[in-house]
Structure 1
Amino acid sequence: MRFRSLESRIATLFLLLLIAVQVTGLLLIQRGIENNARNAVTAELINGSKVFSRVLEQNAETLRFGARLLARDTAFVAAIGNNEEDDRETIESALANHGGRIKASLTMLVNAEGQISASTSPYRPPGLVNLIKGMLERAERADGASGIAIIEQRPYQVVVMPVKAPVTIGWVVMTFPIDKQQAGVMHEISALQATIMTRNAAGNWLSVDSTLPRLAAGSLAAQMQARGKEAGNSFEMEIGGASYSLREMEIGTDGGQRAVVVLGRSLDEATAEYARLERWLLALTALGIIVSGVAAALTAKRIAQPLSQLARTAKRLERGDYKGRIAVERRDEVGALAQALDSMRDGIARREQEIRRLAYWDTLTSLPNRAQFLLHLNESLAQAATLGNQVWVLMMDLDRFKHVNDVLGHQFGDALLRQVAERLLALMVQRGQSSAQLARLGGDEFAILLPGADLDHAIGLAAAVLQALETPLSLDEQTVDIGAGLGIAGYPEHGQDGESLLSMAEVAMYTAKQRRDGAVVYDAVFDQSSAKSLSLLTELRNAVERDELRLFVQPKITLASGVVSGAEALVRWAHPERGNVFPDQFIPFAEQTGFIRVLTRWVLEQSAMLSRQLAQRGVHLKISVNLSTRDLMDQDLPGKFAEILHRHQVSPGAFCLEITESAIMDDPVRAQHTLERLHAMGADLSIDDFGTGYSSLAYLKRLPVDELKIDKSFVLNMEQDVGDAKIVRSTIDLGHNMGLRVVAEGLESEAVWALLKRMGCDQGQGYFMSRPIPATELGDWIGRWRAPDSAAAASRVEENSTVPAK
């Protein structure tokens, strides 16, 4: 065996390591023996303390049981109840008999007044009497009590048991010495030496009883006296020529006296077994070094020979070749290593297969996932490019699925997705779509691949899918109506690769959901709109954060007096690059995406600030703020509104909240609930654009509204159009008959002003009075405002207008 060979190096290294380990181990063992012995003794003493406590507890329980038998003895209770001198002998006899039976040192009867009326001994130590008096109430509550008394520096267990007939007529008191009996029991159970000791108020220790020899117990008491009041209840002492580890455990106190038990274990006895072990280790170490030297040489040879084979196998695994078993047949560590490598090969192969399954298949529905679907799609596209065929992709997203998850839970939602998958698979089988591929892309999105199909076929299948999903799904005694938005995109008409087609189908799908058209074929216009919408949403969020929004107002005038009575709050966007962006360019998008709630909160905040600023100048106006459909569906809106009013110290009566007829009719129940809460706060409510919606008057009359606002489409041409004038006049009469204030918007001429005034319209709003102006300029504008001459305007209307006022 060459020294530079692997075998020689392994053998030499093993032998040197073994010698170093053995020598180091021997040195450490000598130190560890003592530490381990001390730790073991310490644990033994701790456990012994618990055992002795348990012995005392069991002894007290036995004593309480004996006292309870006496306290419930019928003759004994009767004798106490008679309270006659003739029964005294009976009581004392019962006390003596029962006390003797359970080896009580003293048995007494305490009467109902707390005085000792009978006793088996005339000796009554004052400390015992005081302890008993303190235990009477506790014994009454707990049907018996026990404690520790120290009488003449000897500890006693005291048991007090009430005598009831049925009320308490006295107490039985028994005392039992804590002496060598308990110490002997402790020694028998744990082999620990137990010494019961007391210390009086002067600090003098007395050894009461001990399992140690008399001289050793005396030596312990003397050393305890010398030890004084050192901290810690674990210590070591030399007793009778032997080293002991001791633990002091307090068992009771009485006034200034203490009763303790000192548990001890001889360290010499505890380390005896370790010393024998040390001698054995010395012999075994010498023998082990000799044997190990021979074994190391043989083992090194057996290890080195198959390593080259295992190295070749590892190289094969590195290349991803998991075929072929490892041909090392041995039962030693090298064989175990070979088996481990073989198991690793099998495990890696299985995990790669499982990873592939998880990577390409949906675990919930067992359908292909997005990655697998994309692979199939790209394969179909490559085949279609060769054969000149078409490939179509249908992508659908379930309606109201998030609501189902929120209401019925995700477990129900998962079951629902599985049922949808089963229904779609059944539909494809029914229609003979053998080449089609169904997949779940994620969440509640599904896709169908149609290779070799045309557009008509794709549209037909899309219609069948939507029709299949219209049938309610039944699950766990729940019936769920669930539809879908479906997008269609195809090769080569729309895209050339799989990712593009999926993206286009997704754009068409979201367009279908927005339009509620069911199925929509992709158009490039949709994609541009999506990109623009995404950019607009990001910019709109930044506009709020960067303070790019501006509050504008348009005054509202009382037509009869010409006094400014209110203003409608409007929002403008001062874009840093696009300039001023008008509301019709971003408000519809904000309503569609739900961002309108953020805008509404911003307008309410700014309007409250404006209202307070005007009030400080003595101007009190009613600010009108528009609420959208999404605002009415927000059940937290009243709370948010109240928080804004409170923060700016503004009354709810300073606001008029405007809602359109269509916003109300989208969900009348929720809308009415929100409106009633807002109205109850004190804010006015107005129906905006009245006459352009399809609301029911029977429903509108139940709404807590204060104002009708006539749409400007009827007001603009009412001077020339008799039909518009009749509509306006009828609306004014309708509003007044319902007790509502009527406001006309779109007032752009003095003649229309006069005409509306003659018709009895309450307020007007329009360019004739003022275009929307920055909120900061409203106060100055009010100071400049002058109403037109009503008489002159009325005269001109009479001359030029063909529209009758009544």
Structure 2
Amino acid sequence: MRFRSLESRIVTLFLVLLIVVQLVGLLVIQRGIDSNARTSIASELVNGSKVFARLMDQNAQNLRNGARLLSRDAGFLAAIGNTDPDDRATIESALANHGRRIKASMTMLVSPERKVVASTSDAQAAGLEHMVMSMLEKAEQADGANGIAIVERLPYQIVVVPVKAPLTIGFVVMTFPLDERLARDMQETTSLQTLLLTRDSKGNWLPVASSLAPSAVGSIMAQLQGMGRLPSDAFDVDITSDKLSVRMTPIGEDDGQVAVVMLGRSINEATAEYARLERWLLGLTAAGIVVCVVASVLTAKRIAQPLRQLADTAKKLEQGDYKVNIESSRADEIGELAHAFGSMRDGIAKREQEVRRLAYWDPLTNLPNRAQFLLLLNDAIADARKRAGSAYVLMMDLDRFKHVNDVMGHSFGDALLKQVAGRLLQKLANRRHPAQVARLGGDEFAVLLPGSDLDQAVVVASEILQALESPLSLDEQMVDIGAGIGIAGFPDHGMDGEELLSKSEVAMYAAKQRNEGAVVYEDAIDKGSQQSLSLLTELRQAVENNEFRLFVQPKVTLATGRVVGVEALVRWQHPVRGNVFPDQFIPFAEQTGFIRVLTHWVLERSAELCHALAQRGIHLKVSVNLSTRDLLDQELPFKFGEIFMRHHVSPGAFCLEITESAIMDDPVRAQQTLERLHGMGCDLSIDDFGTGYSSLAYLKRLPVDELKIDKSFVLNMANDVGDAKIVRSTIDLGHNMGLRVVAEGIESEAAWHILAEMGCDQGQGYFMSRPMPADQLASWVETWRAPALAE
């Protein structure tokens, strides 16, 4: 069973849960046992202290009774009353005999004058004399007194009884040693270990009597050394193989020495029954773990084995084997999962079949799509490579299909594509060599010609173009449709399918641009395409690296010769190619949308120039060209306004030039943008007027201030009567519409005078000045003199 498998995880989970629960239970039980044991031991020790005190009282009472018997003995009383020395021996004998009967360690007689008359032990009598004398008064008043005395660090229980006849004629004193007998009696009575101790005034402890073994006593004494005050609560001490919970109780004090009894209870003995319970619990836990392991393994196998089978089934499904058998006889959730797997297998098989069809076949025309065509093409190339033959691809794009979609709708366009596909299949069906037609997407089709050479491919392309020349009839509508075809083949133009498709596409776009019908791929075509791909990157870098330069061409009033404005132009100073002419990058910028960036750059630099000229007292109107892309940008007025505010120039200082074709691409949006720009204060000019196809109906609705006559009419105006008429008519048209008229392309003084006579307002051209760097404009304006004024 692998560790990371589901079985191992289920078994591990069961075991961990069981062990955790058992450990928590054992911990709680153990703490409960310890708490209960401690409480029970503490109670036993407290009760033991009371029992010991009672035992001491009983001993004291026994001593007092024995002393009273002696004090009432007639012979003893008579002996005390005589002062004969022989009677003193009688007294000492009586004291010794009576003391032996009650097991007193010392017996003595004290006179009423507080002097020792006789004793059985002079040494003890001397040691006890001080304490005995302090007890006489109390004994006389209470008919007896008892206490604890410590002689030579050994504790004794003392009893003092007065001898009366009837007046007090003396005191009988008896001592009882606190020794091993007392400790054993206490241990037998309470089952508590008993240790009698004394401590001198310096804090040194001395064991007196004990029910413990000597080694245990020595261990306890070592732990008591250094103890200051006696602890009021129970505490633990370690002995040889056990631990005692002990309680120390003082039983007497004599001249700075203290007698103490230590009662102890073995913790092991107190918890012995609980320990047996713990062992039972541990045994039950071990048995439970074994049972849990067996049960969890069986359960895990019952759960994991079907899942493992389903996982193997899933791997086979992943490999595409949809015929694998799935057991689903169980009625539980596993059976439901197996049944769901079976349903999923059937659903995946159906969807994969559909996905495969959609992935490799066009659903509209039922022709192979680009992916399937690429597979067929690579197979044809592999076959041609083996035979040292060739294979060709024709890529075709329909003409005016977008217009058909826009006018007739997409449903009509789809039906048209179906008819084109049918016509291609019909045309290629009777060929001796098989041909495969495919729809690559949109209105693009491709034809694979395996085993064909270039001449045969050109013939097939010509036949396809002829077939498409016949109008298509659809929904009672006759549609004329043409196509541009690109031709590329193996091994002349490429060595794999992707390369051939790419190069045939390049040739197809060349065919559409040249309007030549069919074009065979050439390296020259592709170089132009590669240059176009890199041109956009170079344009972006040109803006970042400040490679563009602002040039201007002055605009002069023809009647007076006064400079009234300039047209802003852009030049590209390429670090490798040198000067790049505008017609080499402006059309591409318009196609890709980069023209918006250029327009923004030109207006930014023009605003800087306008502000700089105004500071020198030169006020000119700057003309900036707008493209179709610019006019479709609804945010253009807002962007221009930001530039005007940033450079502190008035919108009235600018004239925005728009071509007729730019307006006609989207007249509605163009008019909205132009109206907003005109509302800001900018003049608007129609550039290259007369070369487009615009309607005057649109022109009259636009907020235009100026017309610019294209230079193609001005250049030959002096020699071409037709051009002169067009120019005059344009000037009259502009004036009739209240517009300012500007002529481009003035390259001679004669053209100047002719335009002035015709009433043209302004002009620009090489005769006045070629485009110059913007920083040279101010000095040119200061030195400019019109020819008429010079005369």
Percent identity at matched positions? 58
Q: Matches of 1:297 and 1:701 in 2, distance apart?
A: 92
1:396 counterpart = 2:411: no
Rate the CA distance shift 1:536–1:481 in 2: closer, same or farther, 3 A.
farther
Q: Matches of 1:328 and 1:762 in 2, distance apart?
A: 95
Q: Matches of 2:707 and 2:381 in 1, distance apart?
A: 60
3-state SS of paired residue (2:787): coil
How far is 1:657 from its partner? 1.8
Which position in structure 1 is the counterpart of 2:537?
A: 538
3-state SS of paired residue (1:771): coil
1:769 counterpart = 2:765: no
Q: Matches of 2:530 and 2:602 in 1, distance apart?
A: 27
Which position in structure 2 is the counterpart of 1:489?
A: 487
Moved more, 774-783 or 559-568: 774-783
Contact 1:661/1:688 (CA < 8 Å) preserved in 2?
A: yes
Q: Matches of 2:376 and 2:750 in 1, distance apart?
A: 71
How far is 1:623 from its partner? 0.8
Q: Matches of 2:695 and 2:298 in 1, distance apart?
A: 101
- The correspondence of residues 167-566 of structure 1 with structure 2, limited to 5 A, is 360-361=360-361, 368-384=368-384, 386=387, 388=389, 390-396=391-397, 422-431=418-427, 433=429, 435-441=434-440, 446-451=445-450, 454-461=457-464, 464=467, 486-492=484-490, 494-511=493-510, 522-566=521-565
Contact 2:416/2:474 (CA < 8 Å) preserved in 1?
A: no
Rate the CA distance shift 1:600–1:290 in 2: closer, same or farther, 3 A.
closer
Which position in structure 1 is the counterpart of 2:84?
A: none
3-state SS of paired residue (2:507): helix
How far is 1:654 from its partner? 1.4
Q: Matches of 2:598 and 2:741 in 1, distance apart?
A: 27
Which position in structure 1 is the counterpart of 2:630?
A: 631
Q: Matches of 2:655 and 2:297 in 1, distance apart?
A: 99
- The correspondence of residues 58-77 of structure 1 with structure 2, limited to 5 A, is none
Question: Which digits, 9 at most, give the CA deviation of each residue in 1:206-247, with x for residues without a partner?
Answer: xxxxxxxxxxxxxxxxxxxxxxxxxxxxxxxxxxxxxxxxxx
Which position in structure 2 is the counterpart of 1:116?
A: none
Contact 2:728/2:758 (CA < 8 Å) preserved in 1?
A: yes
Rate the CA distance shift 1:705–1:332 in 2: closer, same or farther, 3 A.
closer
How far is 1:321 from its partner? 10
1:783 counterpart = 2:755: no
Which position in structure 1 is the counterpart of 2:650?
A: 651
3-state SS of paired residue (1:650): coil
Which position in structure 2 is the counterpart of 1:582?
A: 581
Q: Matches of 1:689 and 1:15 in 2, distance apart?
A: 88
Which position in structure 2 is the counterpart of 1:745?
A: 744
Which position in structure 1 is the counterpart of 2:237?
A: none
Which position in structure 1 is the counterpart of 2:621?
A: 622
How far is 1:577 from its partner? 1.7
Q: Matches of 1:622 and 1:603 in 2, distance apart?
A: 14
Structure 1 residue ranges without an equivalent (≥5)? 34-280, 793-806
Q: Matches of 2:13 and 2:696 in 1, distance apart?
A: 99
3-state SS of paired residue (1:572): strand
* Root-mean-square deviation over aligned CA pairs: 5.7
Which position in structure 1 is the counterpart of 2:230?
A: none
Rate the CA distance shift 1:403–1:422 in 2: closer, same or farther, 3 A.
closer
Question: Which digits, 9 at most, give the CA deviation of each residue in 1:377-410, with x for residues without a partner?
Answer: 12233445639565333243797869989x99xx
2:705 alignment partner AA: D
How far is 1:552 from its partner? 1.0
- The correspondence of residues 101-140 of structure 1 with structure 2, limited to 5 A, is none
How far is 1:706 from its partner? 2.4
How far is 1:578 from its partner? 1.6
Which position in structure 2 is the counterpart of 1:706?
A: 705
How far is 1:503 from its partner? 0.4
2:595 alignment partner AA: I
Rate the CA distance shift 1:482–1:656 in 2: closer, same or farther, 3 A.
farther
Q: Matches of 2:364 and 2:686 in 1, distance apart?
A: 49
Which position in structure 2 is the counterpart of 1:25?
A: 21
How far is 1:457 from its partner? 2.4
3-state SS of paired residue (1:623): strand
3-state SS of paired residue (2:742): strand
Which position in structure 1 is the counterpart of 2:83?
A: none
How far is 1:543 from its partner? 1.5
Which position in structure 1 is the counterpart of 2:200?
A: none
How far is 1:420 from its partner? 6.3
Contact 2:678/2:684 (CA < 8 Å) preserved in 1?
A: yes
Question: Which digits, 9 at most, give the CA deviation of each residue in 1:452-498, with x for residues without a partner?
Answer: 56323234335656878x77899xxxx99998964422425644532
Q: Matches of 1:13 and 1:571 in 2, distance apart?
A: 74
Contact 1:395/1:447 (CA < 8 Å) preserved in 2?
A: yes
Q: Matches of 1:292 and 1:381 in 2, distance apart?
A: 67
Question: Which digits, 9 at most, give the CA deviation of each residue in 1:162-219, with x for residues without a partner?
Answer: xxxxxxxxxxxxxxxxxxxxxxxxxxxxxxxxxxxxxxxxxxxxxxxxxxxxxxxxxx
Question: Which digits, 9 at most, give the CA deviation of each residue in 1:744-786, with x for residues without a partner?
Answer: 2222334443443344332221223222112222222212222
1:772 alignment partner AA: P
Q: Matches of 1:449 and 1:424 in 2, distance apart?
A: 16
Rate the CA distance shift 1:391–1:31 in 2: closer, same or farther, 3 A.
farther
Q: Matches of 1:482 and 1:555 in 2, distance apart?
A: 49
Structure 2 residue ranges without an equivalent (≥5)? 30-280
1:377 alignment partner AA: L
Q: Matches of 1:733 and 1:291 in 2, distance apart?
A: 112
3-state SS of paired residue (1:25): helix
How far is 1:531 from its partner? 0.7
* Higher alpha-carbon Rg: 2
How far is 1:624 from its partner? 1.0
How far is 1:549 from its partner? 1.4
How far is 1:700 from its partner? 4.1
How far is 1:508 from its partner? 3.1
Moved more, 606-615 or 391-400: 391-400
Rate the CA distance shift 1:32–1:541 in 2: closer, same or farther, 3 A.
farther
3-state SS of paired residue (2:536): helix
1:621 alignment partner AA: L
How far is 1:555 from its partner? 0.9
1:535 alignment partner AA: S
Rate the CA distance shift 1:510–1:635 in 2: closer, same or farther, 3 A.
farther
Rate the CA distance shift 1:429–1:744 in 2: closer, same or farther, 3 A.
closer
Rate the CA distance shift 1:694–1:603 in 2: closer, same or farther, 3 A.
same
Contact 1:629/1:664 (CA < 8 Å) preserved in 2?
A: yes
Question: Which digits, 9 at most, give the CA deviation of each residue in 1:519-568, with x for residues without a partner?
Answer: 65544433221111111121112222332212111111112222110000
What TM-score do you get using the length of structure 2 for normalisation?
A: 0.53
1:547 alignment partner AA: N
Contact 2:687/2:710 (CA < 8 Å) preserved in 1?
A: yes
1:24 alignment partner AA: V
Rate the CA distance shift 1:498–1:521 in 2: closer, same or farther, 3 A.
same
3-state SS of paired residue (1:590): helix
Contact 2:427/2:467 (CA < 8 Å) preserved in 1?
A: no
1:529 alignment partner AA: G
Q: Matches of 1:630 and 1:329 in 2, distance apart?
A: 65
2:460 alignment partner AA: H
Rate the CA distance shift 1:588–1:290 in 2: closer, same or farther, 3 A.
closer
1:371 alignment partner AA: A
